[in-house]
Structure 1
């Protein structure tokens, strides 16, 4: 277990001219005979990138390109088969395959699976909105478990309207002069406008044939989103479709190579959710072979997300593996040899613990729910686990609340077997012990009858007598399904504000947020920016009950949805907040992308009033005589477009509202990534806080 094995001598990984390959990432084939390297990495959107790819054959140390390398890389995705060493890749939005037999040659030839890829047609990779809001990855291609078939998504965004991103300086040097800006046309669907039309295809490798999949009862192409595609057996594919408003949906299964699928499950109010909330989605399906073949999924069970086992794969009713007033967050692995399912769960909601549960042995017999905790549930802990393909081993990561560590563990083994410390962060432990640390507390408050998680970061040696007064800064995100309050270990800007500036930092997960059941999530449906504001205000009012809090220095700040929440909270003029800071805020949901927005707000045609009330309209609330307010936005933000801030600026100008400050960060995206912008944003906010509040812990006379 402790012996190292050299996979590849990097000095032997050479390009076609004999030069050492300078690679950015690598991936090992399933049979460990080949290694895939990426070079010339060019980032595109949040998850996607381009690169040149090379294959290194370990047996003879031969390296060859997947496709002829280009100065401007065109390969956007490249992935090994789950068994053997076949390779699928996407170049210029077309799917290609290199078979195992071809991989043995010195110059393997690829099979072109699609030929209609273009700037509006995507095969095997998602367009912008599916990458950002549906798959949250750079791939829309799925190998069958036996590597005999490839499923892929085809997206046609020819009807999606363009959004033009302006770039003023493509270099990393702000002093370079570029007389004309460049434009990037990106397809970006907004609420009520056309979405990409998507369809599913499979490719059978043995016959080299491509099939288009369809089903009776298929939703109209312009009113459906395919939110999950996954293999549930070697010869069975599952597809989930929902309508634009995420109110109803279907689960479809294709078996034995059939191109006509069957709807086997219903989603939404009349289906598995059974309420007026939205349909959650994720990439959760896990196939199970063994004596009782089927698949696992995460499905609402009495209002909480739990593991359901469907056997056979066309079953409509599940065997429930878990239940209760807590939520499963991930199915981590399946060990067929031991007959165990491994999963992580929010027990309690601010923790993550690892569990195992037995696989059912009968589709008709009664299943006895038996959970075994693999982490210490008697202590607070936030754990993550990454399992090997057959779940024989896993890397267990402890992420808090104390200093993180990481171990390699043999699944189901006793303490005497494999349990190797990979990283203990001894140096970090030593460093932290040498400094005064902020005090972090986690508790709950009640807001309108809802129990909400709250986290406080307090200055060291806090004087609770009331003789000294401390400002309170509420850090907010608050988006649907999100979570800010947890037992993760964090040391960031907020820790600095607490320790050095002696501020109190508060976070609260209000209505709409995740991992506490649908009853907490659903109230914000069709009404974003209302109940969340009430909950942030409730947290601030709770803090005002404490004698050491300075009621003249209560602020709120956030980024993205948190920026939106900052604006909406200040707009409400509750009389509590005296300062606000927003970065890249949404100011009207009509400006944001359709798939995210309509999931929570429905379409503008169905919820016109909701779109009006959820926008930032009461701009008089930002007047300098009412609140100290600053905000910032990157002009190259592809996610929350600069149009949001341009609109707010326009409203403030028209209404002659003054006393606020704004900064545009040239060419920066949603993460403020250009020419020192990220650091500058934080230093700017830090200076603003110092100017308006000074330090906390001042003596009250």
Structure 2
């Protein structure tokens, strides 16, 4: 009897050890599962060293040994002491630009204080004493630094630290110089709107006039007696955009020239880039519907421009996806990516815009153009050639000789040195967290593993993390869709389990990849320990599978995605180990839109749904994103209303939880208010929760703890 009790006790201990229980604190306030990486890599020009930012120090490493050789600057020993949050080198690597006192504004915009550190004299100076700066950048020769302050552009000459003001008409909610308005920042993914010429003698910069753009009023509740209003310019679909221009400032003459790119005013200028020639600026212009792209070459002395390449689409030109443009140093050619043959590929053009050749081709997408080694005429890129679920690195010569460099299955993200002699491979797969490795490009020789996350792998094993099990199913038109499942560790195929479907579903996105982790991964792993299967599904319209698959949803967002998630639920219900009466769905942002639509227009399919920060009618969202996929409400009203959750509020079935932050500058709280109002008027019962003053990501460790605890409880009580 005693031996039996001892054996049972030992077995229980082993079981407990094999699978520790994940708590909400583990992934919100405790950081129990930290995935290490190598950050802040700056490749040194001589090809022998790189530097990183670690423990408030910029440390120089020997590339071949991977060992530190010198601390270039230690923020804690400076006078004044500086918490270094970012850094960059001057072109001659004799100076460092140090960033501190970082204060976020929106997703990418910020203010900060910058310091110039002289590596030779070991001296440090503030870049400016006239207020915080933004987006500071060295000129090519390292003699000057330009920056933005309060919507105006400035530069400092470093030999005498003299500050020069380039523009003086900047005003909040009216005129912006050298940076972007809200919608460009969010949807074209940049805020540094000024560009040094290759010779350091000119500054090209954006100028936005947002005076006519309507304001959105965001109330900030805080802890004051009266809430305050924060009003900012936010162009909703179909409304007036900022008027945008590109100007070129000559530092010697102090003269400004406006780039002449046509008389059409309702346009976007999503990218500006200097060619190798300091007299020619490259400007890309999109029409309002984003289905016509022109690449201009502008004479910076006169402002006159010539269209060298025009691209048209029956749907939209996905600039976020086809963003690569490299001008060759000889000034005769450029490399550009486009989906013109149905997949994103690399093309070589002459400076006159005439096609020289298509460099890559096939039924796969080039994911990342890493760079061109002009000494060997070799391009480096990653692509989906192996599988839409993977990304591998390749080299290809301009003559067409292609070599696959990566071998291990999964996702390879590459950071290559400027001289192309070395690269760092951030590799992950469903089976293992990120492994960071240093390779010598010639011979593709592994030099050193910089981080293997072995400690994390052991922790994951202790907690019994569920492995991703990939699956596919066919939607109603016969298209095969990809997904993966996370199952309970003690999964028994003879039993039946409830299933929670997670999805994002937005155009060009991808959640189903052969990588470790993913959105809300620890929350999902915790659910498997509670006896749930979590299924993650990519619908039609998502990325990695070519233009036709991605652009199917054009002019009718939500229609096909909903069909696919209903088909997904039906597929799951055919599995013997799935309890078909207990299938739920949830998502955040676009995923919240889809879970809201699934619970209303798709009523009866899912027992439970959770929507976090959802769009509930695309009329409430911004111009650039929304009109890219739906055109304007004036041209396509049905595309906005036929798949709006608010339109189908009277059809709501099942348990529905609606969550939003009141300080969301991106997907406005207005979306949830309107949906709630429609549900109330339809006599529907539901649960809602708002987070005071929290933005789209519902930030803060304690807030996240509250959020995931609430969602966990809701799932357990209602699914």
Structure 1-normalised TM-score? 0.88
2:436 is equivalent to residue 406 of structure 1: yes
Task: Give the one of 128, 145, 150 matched to 2:182.
Answer: 128
Q: Where do 5+ consecutive residues of structure 1 fail to align? A: 170-176, 270-274, 360-367, 694-701
2:149 is equivalent to residue 91 of structure 1: yes
The number of aligned residues is 647
Distance 1:346 1:157, change over 3 A: same
Q: 1:373: which partner in 2?
A: 404
| SS in structure 1 of the partner of residue 72 of structure 2 | coil
Q: CA contact under 8 A between 1:667 and 1:674: conserved in structure 2?
A: no
Q: CA contact under 8 A between 1:439 and 1:459: conserved in structure 2?
A: no
Q: CA contact under 8 A between 1:459 and 1:499: conserved in structure 2?
A: yes
Task: Give the one of 306, 327, 330 matched to 2:345.
Answer: 306
2:274 is equivalent to residue 231 of structure 1: yes
Q: 2:510: which partner in 1?
A: 483
2:250 is equivalent to residue 204 of structure 1: yes
Q: CA contact under 8 A between 1:248 and 1:279: conserved in structure 2?
A: no
Task: Give the one of 590, 606, 611 matched to 2:635.
Answer: 606
C-alpha RMSD of matched pairs (Å):
2.1
Q: CA deviation at 1:316?
A: 3.3
2:50 is equivalent to residue 50 of structure 1: no
| SS in structure 1 of the partner of residue 224 of structure 2 | coil
Q: CA deviation at 1:322?
A: 0.6
Pairing 1:511-522 to 2, within 5 Å after superposition: 511-522=540-551
Structure 2-normalised TM-score? 0.86
Task: Give the one of 473, 481, 491 matched to 2:500.
Answer: 473
Distance 1:334 1:482, change over 3 A: same
Q: Supply the distance in 1 between the matched residues of 2:538 and 2:628 (Cα, whole angstroms).
A: 20
* Cα offsets for 1:81-124 (capped at 9, x unmatched): 344343111111111123xxx3234xx10222222211121111
Q: Supply the distance in 1 between the matched residues of 2:215 and 2:584 (Cα, whole angstroms).
A: 38
Q: CA contact under 8 A between 2:257 and 2:301: conserved in structure 1?
A: no
Pairing 1:611-626 to 2, within 5 Å after superposition: 611-616=640-645, 617-622=647-652, 626=653
| SS in structure 2 of the partner of residue 485 of structure 1 | coil
Q: 2:293: which partner in 1?
A: 249
Q: 1:104: which partner in 2?
A: 159
2:336 is equivalent to residue 297 of structure 1: yes
Task: Give the one of 98, 103, 108 matched to 1:37.
Answer: 98
Q: 2:459: which partner in 1?
A: 431
Q: Supply the distance in 2 between the matched residues of 1:146 and 1:211 (Cα, whole angstroms).
A: 17
Distance 1:495 1:571, change over 3 A: closer
Distance 1:5 1:112, change over 3 A: farther
Q: CA deviation at 1:53?
A: 1.1
Q: Supply the distance in 2 between the matched residues of 1:146 and 1:293 (Cα, whole angstroms).
A: 18
Q: Supply the distance in 2 between the matched residues of 1:219 and 1:248 (Cα, whole angstroms).
A: 15
Q: Supply the distance in 1 between the matched residues of 2:469 and 2:336 (Cα, whole angstroms).
A: 34
Q: CA deviation at 1:150?
A: 2.5
Q: 1:684: which partner in 2?
A: 710
Distance 1:5 1:318, change over 3 A: same
Q: Supply the distance in 2 between the matched residues of 1:60 and 1:496 (Cα, whole angstroms).
A: 52
Task: Give the one of 684, 695, 700 matched to 1:669.
Answer: 695
* Cα offsets for 1:448-503 (capped at 9, x unmatched): 132222122222232223xx111111101111111111112107234424531121
Q: CA deviation at 1:166?
A: 0.5
Q: CA deviation at 1:579?
A: 0.5
Q: Supply the distance in 2 between the matched residues of 1:30 and 1:373 (Cα, whole angstroms).
A: 32
Distance 1:282 1:534, change over 3 A: closer
Task: Give the one of 305, 327, 330 matched to 2:368.
Answer: 330
Q: 1:272: which partner in 2?
A: none
| SS in structure 1 of the partner of residue 562 of structure 2 | helix
* Cα offsets for 1:174-226 (capped at 9, x unmatched): xxx421001111100001111011111122344443211013xx2621x2111
Q: 1:10: which partner in 2?
A: 74
Q: Supply the distance in 2 between the matched residues of 1:145 and 1:294 (Cα, whole angstroms).
A: 17
| SS in structure 1 of the partner of residue 697 of structure 2 | coil
Distance 1:567 1:471, change over 3 A: same
2:513 is equivalent to residue 449 of structure 1: no
Q: 1:570: which partner in 2?
A: 599
Q: 1:213: which partner in 2?
A: 259
Q: 2:3: which partner in 1?
A: none
Distance 1:599 1:442, change over 3 A: same
Pairing 1:177-196 to 2, within 5 Å after superposition: 177-196=223-242
Q: CA contact under 8 A between 2:325 and 2:335: conserved in structure 1?
A: yes
Q: Supply the distance in 2 between the matched residues of 1:145 and 1:412 (Cα, whole angstroms).
A: 29
Moved over 4 A (4+): 255-258
2:216 is equivalent to residue 163 of structure 1: yes
Q: Supply the distance in 2 between the matched residues of 1:640 and 1:499 (Cα, whole angstroms).
A: 30
Distance 1:114 1:249, change over 3 A: same
| SS in structure 1 of the partner of residue 642 of structure 2 | helix
Q: Supply the distance in 2 between the matched residues of 1:278 and 1:342 (Cα, whole angstroms).
A: 24
Distance 1:482 1:9, change over 3 A: closer
Q: 2:139: which partner in 1?
A: 81
Q: CA deviation at 1:620?
A: 2.3
Q: Supply the distance in 2 between the matched residues of 1:577 and 1:565 (Cα, whole angstroms).
A: 12
* Cα offsets for 1:578-603 (capped at 9, x unmatched): 11000001011111111111111101
Q: Supply the distance in 2 between the matched residues of 1:567 and 1:13 (Cα, whole angstroms).
A: 53
Q: CA contact under 8 A between 2:393 and 2:404: conserved in structure 1?
A: yes
Q: CA contact under 8 A between 1:244 and 1:603: conserved in structure 2?
A: no
Distance 1:530 1:220, change over 3 A: same
Q: Supply the distance in 1 between the matched residues of 2:197 and 2:479 (Cα, whole angstroms).
A: 44
Q: CA deviation at 1:606?
A: 0.6
The structure, 1 or 2, with the larger RCO (C-alpha pairs under 8 Å, 6+ apart) is 2
Distance 1:471 1:12, change over 3 A: closer
2:81 is equivalent to residue 25 of structure 1: no
2:651 is equivalent to residue 590 of structure 1: no
| SS in structure 2 of the partner of residue 618 of structure 1 | helix
Q: CA contact under 8 A between 2:257 and 2:300: conserved in structure 1?
A: no
Distance 1:443 1:253, change over 3 A: farther
Q: CA contact under 8 A between 1:355 and 1:371: conserved in structure 2?
A: yes
| SS in structure 1 of the partner of residue 633 of structure 2 | coil
Q: CA contact under 8 A between 2:259 and 2:300: conserved in structure 1?
A: no
Q: CA contact under 8 A between 1:334 and 1:390: conserved in structure 2?
A: no
Q: Supply the distance in 2 between the matched residues of 1:656 and 1:338 (Cα, whole angstroms).
A: 69
Q: 1:509: which partner in 2?
A: 538
Q: 2:45: which partner in 1?
A: none
* Cα offsets for 1:594-641 (capped at 9, x unmatched): 11111111011111122221222111233xxx3011110000000000
Q: CA contact under 8 A between 1:458 and 1:498: conserved in structure 2?
A: no
Q: 2:315: which partner in 1?
A: 276
